[in-house]
Structure 1
Amino acid sequence: MPILRAAATYFALVFAAGVVLGAVRVPLLVPRLGERLAELLEMPWMALAMVLAARLVVRRQLPGCGPLTRAAAGALALAFMVAAELAVGLVLRQLPLREILIGRDPVSGAVYLALLLLYALLPLLLGRGSTTTAVP
């Protein structure tokens, strides 16, 4: 159960940061700078939110957990994030599935995919050395 709770917390924190940053990006930056540049300017802030959220979750909800547990929490959080992205695209933005999956800008879309991979790996990476092992 700690995996589910940690994944849900990690997802909620990062998704909330994305909603806040998107509320700034879409009305203020996109009209002035274009979609690509606006997304690229948002991504370092999302990466920071991801690191902070992952660190918080690893320290508070997964202390002493091994790499498999942390990796599972990251993978489950990624599944939540992808499901939320699909839901937002299909329901709120009323985009066709094809547009959601392959309609991204080639540059910012590639960076976005890299950030999703980092998002999934952060609980594992930030928890390295946090498990206690018996010394013979």
Structure 2
Amino acid sequence: MPRAAFLYFVLVFAAGALIGTLRVLVVAPVTGALGAVLIELPLILALSWAALRLVLRLRPVNPALPLRLGMGFLAFCLLMLAEYLLSAVLTGAGIGAFLAALSTPEGAAGLAGQIVFALMPALEGRLPGRR
């Protein structure tokens, strides 16, 4: 399960880094930060679902709820750590600024999406025919 969680994180973080760069440089100047996040969110969640399905084909994880929640939680922790480190490197901001950014409307929307990302392995395991 840890390998599946790591692969899930890596695929989604890589996609998010690319899409997030486009969001910041291209979309946000036109729509504002919140509008850009709301445009990005369905795309990154769809890519997260596709990445999850790929990972589960390559590294099957028992659909038992505790195992799938564990997979999602580990992937979420890795994602948050990577996002903080990327933020610290790019902006020089500390953990306080990173956490404060999560309390903005666009930060809260992004965090909600990351929580859905974390729950996806468990949700996928609950689908009919997946047990």
User: Under TM normalisation by the shorter chain, which class is it?
Assistant: 0.7 to 0.9
- AA matched with 1:127: G
The answer to whether the Cα contact below 8 Å between 1:15 and 1:81 also exists between their aligned partners in 2 is yes
Deviations 1:47-77 (A, max 9, x none): 1111111222233312544222221111110
Percent of paired sites with the same residue: 35
TM-score (norm 1): 0.84
Q: Per the alignment, in what secondary structure is the counterpart of residue 127 of structure 1? A: helix
Equivalent residues in 2 for 1:1-136 (5 A)?
A: 3-104=1-102, 106-128=104-126, 129-131=129-131
- State the alpha-carbon separation in 2 of the partners of residues 25 and 37 from structure 1: 10
Larger Rg: 1
Q: Which runs of 5+ in 1 are unaligned?
A: 132-136
- State the alpha-carbon separation in 1 of the partners of residues 21 and 106 from structure 2: 18
Paired residues, number: 129
The answer to whether the Cα contact below 8 Å between 2:4 and 2:59 also exists between their aligned partners in 1 is yes
- AA matched with 2:69: A
Aligned CA distance change for structure 1 residues 32 and 72 (closer, same or farther; 3 Å): same
- State the alpha-carbon separation in 2 of the partners of residues 58 and 123 from structure 1: 9
- State the alpha-carbon separation in 2 of the partners of residues 47 and 121 from structure 1: 11
Deviations 1:11-70 (A, max 9, x none): 011001101102211211122222121122111111111111122223331254422222
- State the alpha-carbon separation in 2 of the partners of residues 105 and 67 from structure 1: 30
Return the offset for 1:78: 0.6
Q: Which runs of 5+ in 2 are unaligned?
A: none
